[in-house]
Amino acid sequence: KAAFINFISDEEWKSIEPVSSWFGPSSLLMSSMSALFKLSMWIRHGHGYLTENLGIPVWGSYAVFGLATLFLGMVLGLVSEALRAGCDC
């Protein structure tokens, strides 16, 4: 704690190079990482709900998420093809 207070009061922070814009909190990279973290937390809570509240075995929860991933991939592929076919490129 004392080292942090000295870091601030002695203005040692001025000698540190600023973070590049790629790694800033509002950059596209960090926003994407935040979204992935939120998705992973949602998946974790969903897994807990399936196994603890509904009593589905762990392998069953994995199967549900695997099938959901396949289904979502199919839907996104169909949408992508429909958009590509409709643009007359």
pTM higher than 0.85, yes or no? no
Question: Is 33 part of a structural domain of the chain?
Answer: yes
Question: Is 2 part of a structural domain of the chain?
Answer: no
Question: Is 3 part of a structural domain of the chain?
Answer: no
54 vs 35: CA distance, rounded Å: 27
Question: Is 10 part of a structural domain of the chain?
Answer: no
Q: Is a pLDDT exceeding 60 seen at residue 89? A: no
Residue-wise pLDDT tens digits, 27-70: 888 889 999 999 999 999 999 999 999 999 999 999 999 999 99
Question: Is 17 part of a structural domain of the chain?
Answer: no
Q: Which pLDDT value is given to residue 6? A: 85
State the Cα angle at 44 between 39 and 48, rounded to 5°.
145
Domain membership of residue 52 as a residue range: 26-87
Question: Is 5 part of a structural domain of the chain?
Answer: no
Burial of 39 (0-12, 13-18, 19+ CB in 10 A): exposed
Question: Is 16 part of a structural domain of the chain?
Answer: no
Please count the structural domains in the chain: 1
